[in-house]
Structure 1
Amino acid sequence: MRKSLPGKRIVACGTLVALLAATTAAPASATTTTSPVQASLDALTAQDGVPGAEAVIQDHGRTRVVRSGRGDVATGKPFPRNGSFRAGSVTKTFVATVVLQLVAEGRVKLDAPVERYLPGLLPDKRITVRQLLQHTSGLYNYTDDLPLNDPESLRHLGADPAELVVMALKHPPLFAPGTDWSYSNTNYIVAGMIAERVTGHALTDEIGRRITRPLGLRDTYLPRRGDEKLPEPHAVGYVRVDGNLVDFSDYETTMAWAAGGLVSTPADLDRFYGALLGGQLLRPAQLAEMQRTVPAGLGIPGARYGLGLGSIPLSCGEFWGHEGGILGFTNLAGVGPQGRRVTVVLNQNPTPAAANQHMLAATDAALCSGK
């Protein structure tokens, strides 16, 4: 039986904090005989204590898989090659793509107020669709309400989108719309509601019709309420509770929904971001809007955010993509210079603070060193 939402604490989806709070240098443990990607993954597992890590790199038709640590600490099995995982806030890029396709079709206007599509939902009638996708709405982040001190209470906790918005609206706005930047999962709950209202279809069906089926992403989907099972094969997703690693692979993720509920694989995300940045999913005008960025406001030089897409400098150029974090899994996926793609996955969330540095180091090495 699913528990009702009111009074329960909601898991925080990933933000760009992990993507940004890092350097691009390879760890000091790298040797001349170990590739930079392998060295960074080994640092995650040996130094940071993450159970396992994997990088799947696609470079113009060539795929390389680099792994470290264990996919299952009980059996000692390694990460499955290209296994399923919960992609967290990478979901936001998918949702933004759906909304921007609706913009191209003339069914949604970026600078129209949310009120046009969801009358009466938000007290501030000035908030626009663009501000939702860009995190400049000022809406409070509903996942910040309560700490994750009792993950078991979340395992079977489902939510309807409107309930999540109500949670956020118990708090005053952080700022007037368009005057600042603050990452808020509430923005994408509302964006997903707009997509459903405009199309008349469930968001998971629109993602399937518009993105996953056209690209052949057979292992990517947004779970419906009650779907708690992570498909095999997959690494075990862990949460550390009282110092012990707890299996949190299977659970209800509609609490994250359009902000972070997606299930995918590294190869699927590599293909998705390559197709997106390559112009296969959006018309040039809408892709340009997606890449029209503002400072991310996290105190990291060069960090910027567009519409469901983040940008940071690499040692060899620019990264476009998104970080994702949800109970059990952390990942960073995107595209670098010359169209090289990478998805780095860790089978733990939350992660130790030092893991952020090594995750981005692995990403930089994969996209810039070619080794």
Structure 2
Amino acid sequence: MRTQRLPATKALRRMAVTALAATLLAGTATPGPATADSSVTVSAASGQDRPELRKAMQAFVDAGFTGVQLRVHDERGEWAGSAGVRKRGATAKPPTNGRFWTGSIIKPFTATLVLQLVAEGKIVLDAPVAGYLPELGLDRRITARMLLRHTSGLFNYTGDFDSDGTFVPGISANGDAWLPDRFRSYRPEELVRVALAKPLRFEPGSDQQYTNTNYTLAMLLIEKVTGRSYAEELRRRILRPLGLKDTSVPGDRTRLPGPYAHGYYRYEDAAGREQVVDISRQNLSLLAGAGDLISSTQDLHTFISALNGGKLLPAPLLAEMRTPHPKMGYGLGLFVQDLGPGCGNVYQHMGSPPHGYGALMYSSPDGRTTVTGSVTWVDEATRGPGKDFQKLVDALVKEVFCDGQGGPRQ
């Protein structure tokens, strides 16, 4: 994709998307304009009528999302539904338990694997990672805890910012530059070496900055100490024990299996004409261990409920995982979010691959109340009406965890 002699507006768009990239991959995906009919009805998979959830889903469609699928487990039981359309130009709704690209929701899975190995004595949480991966030449001050908490100071291989706000490019992971490379395969070592070629952003342990490099390194750490691939360890330790049949690490596979909703990217071609591309197929080896997961709302519910219910980690390590650093509210693979007076904390992670898909996963401290979901949209470099995404998610989450009133459910 040519980048020379860009019109000012196009250059600004590209600057905007790189500035948003870290936030997107952290889980605050920002969707763009859609073509769904705002009057579309919701398809509920359970027998319950939950008008407040139907309204919350419809709000996403009204804001411009093409589709949304949602699953809620709470004291009223299980509820699942979808709104919008599965594909542009069609009328079928998104499947209520379709597969989707989860983006950074893989990070709690990766952190759980590392902490299981800590429990087995195979990894020491505060030992230098360089001792396990000497071939990479890591700063010996960087520990496994720092990787999981994003306090290592490592450069983000998809691009990062200097202290003065100057953007330092890395591997293209969004925008028009990403589009022609969306099927390219990357090796995790290749990604890490891009990051290690740059100076540290800050002294290890002195600050916190969300960086995909940390979790690609965590993936390599898992593989080194077990002698097996990350995908196999994930299957052995989490997917098979929990019966997660819809969840997988795709590797170089670019297609979503089974029924799924489509994501899109809008751009301007060399002749100035607007084009919309179906990007349901994309190669997420670009985000190894940090954003390359396929799942469903049911599987995400099962995982986050089991994790917070104490089924995957010993209590002391689960407590460590859920202890947040004050800067970002991020523990070891989970965000700890205070919903306000009377509501208490939820444990969550959201995610988005480069474009077109977003996912959310929220849980109460005991794992009994969860919200999991996926959205699709027509994305673009400026991210469209993405300003509404966090507001919509917050309203949905408070509806479930606080009766929509900012107070606890009775």
| TM-score interval, normalised by the smaller of the two chains | 0.7 to 0.9
Deviation at 1:166, TM superposition (A): 1.3
The Cα shift of 1:295 comes to 1.8
Matched, 1:231 2:257: yes
Deviation at 1:255, TM superposition (A): 0.7
Match of 1:311 among 333, 336, 342: 336
Once the 2 structures are TM-superposed, how far is the Cα of residue 99 of structure 1 from its aligned partner? 0.4
For normalisation by structure 2, the TM-score amounts to 0.78
Which structure's CA Rg is the greater one?
2
- Give the aligned partner of residue 37 of structure 1: 53
Report deviation, 1:76. Answer: 2.0
Query: Which amino acid is 1:170 matched to?
Result: A
Write the deviation string for residues 18-50 of structure 1: whole angstroms up to 9, x where unpaired.
289xxxxxxxxxxxx98343333222221x211
**1:259: which partner in 2?**
290
* Counterparts of 1:325 and 1:19, CA distance in 2: 6
The separation in 2 between residues aligned to 1:357 and 1:344, in whole angstroms, is: 15
Q: Does 1:355 align with 2:389?
A: yes
The correspondence for 1:18, drawn from 21, 24, 28, is: 28
Partner of 1:200: 227
1:295 match: secondary structure: coil
Q: In 2, are the aligned partners of 1:37 and 1:363 still within 8 Å (CA)?
A: no
Taking the aligned partners of 1:240 and 1:40, their CA distance within structure 2 comes to 26
Question: Deviations for 1:186-216, whole angstroms, at most 9, x for unmatched residues?
Answer: 0000000000000000101100000010000
The alpha-carbon deviation at position 165 of structure 1 amounts to 0.7
Matches within 5 A, 1:304-343: 304-315=329-340, 316-326=343-353, 327-336=355-364, 339-343=368-372
Letter in 2 for 1:239: Y
Cα 1:292–1:341 change in 2 (3 A) is same
Partners of 1:241 and 1:34 in 2: CA distance: 38
Number of residue equivalences: 343
Return the offset for 1:238.
Answer: 2.3
Gapped regions of structure 1 (runs ≥ 5) = 1-9, 21-32, 298-303
What corresponds to 2:153 in structure 1?
138
SS in 1 for 2:176: coil
Paired position in structure 2 for 1:279: 310
Instruction: Give, in angstroms, the shift of residue 129 of structure 1.
Output: 0.4
Please tell me the residue identity of whatever aligns with 1:55: L
Aligned in 2, Cα 1:361/1:245: closer, same or farther, shift over 3 Å? Answer: farther
Corresponding residue SS for 1:223: coil
Q: Deviations over 1:292-327 (max 9, x none)?
A: 210244xxxxxx111011111125221102011112
Say whether the 8 Å CA contact 2:301–2:370 is kept in structure 1: yes
Counterpart-to-counterpart distance in 1, 2:316 and 2:291: 26
Kindly state the Cα deviation for residue 171 of structure 1 after the two structures are TM-superposed.
1.9
The letter of the residue matching 1:160 is R
Tell me the secondary structure at the aligned position of residue 41 of structure 1: helix
Amino acid at match of 2:55: A
Q: Secondary structure at the match of 1:251?
A: coil
> What does residue 124 of structure 1 align with?
139
Q: What one-letter code is carried by the residue in structure 2 that aligns with 1:69?
A: G
CA distance in 1, matches of 2:301, 2:100: 14
Distance in 2 between residues matched to 1:61 and 1:203, nearest whole Å: 37
Which residue of 106, 110, 115 corresponds with 2:121? 106
Deviations 1:224-257 (CA, angstroms, capped at 9, x unpaired): 23x1110111111223334654211112111112
Q: Is the 8 A contact 1:51 1:71 kept in 2?
A: yes
Contact 2:265/2:276 (8 A) holds in 1: yes
Please report how far the alpha carbon of residue 92 of structure 1 lies from its aligned counterpart in structure 2 after TM superposition. 0.5
RMSD: 2.5
CA contact (8 A) 1:344 1:362 kept: no
Secondary structure of 1:143's partner? coil
Maintained 8 Å contact 2:27/2:105: no
Structure 1 residue 281, shift from structure 2 partner: 0.5
Match of 1:62 in 2: 77
Q: For the residues of structure 2 that align with 1:245 and 1:200, how far apart are their CA atoms?
A: 43
CA contact (8 A) 2:130 2:138 kept: no
**What per-residue deviation string (whole Å, max 9, x for no partner) do you get for residues 137-188 of structure 1?**
0011111224522343232111000100111123211100000000000000
Q: Give the conservation status (yes or no) of the 8 Å contact 1:87–1:324.
A: yes
Cα pair 2:27 2:104 within 8 Å, conserved: no
Residue 199 of structure 2 is matched in structure 1 by 172
Distance in 1 (CA, whole Å) between partners of 2:83 and 2:117 is: 41
Name the aligned partner's letter for residue 359 of structure 2: N
Paired with 1:170 and 1:90, the residues of 2 have a C-alpha distance of 27
Letter in 2 for 1:330: G
Amino acid across the alignment from 2:387: A
1:80-136 deviation line (CA, Å, top 9, x unaligned):
011000010010000000000000000001000011110041442110000000000
CA contact (8 A) 2:94 2:261 kept: yes
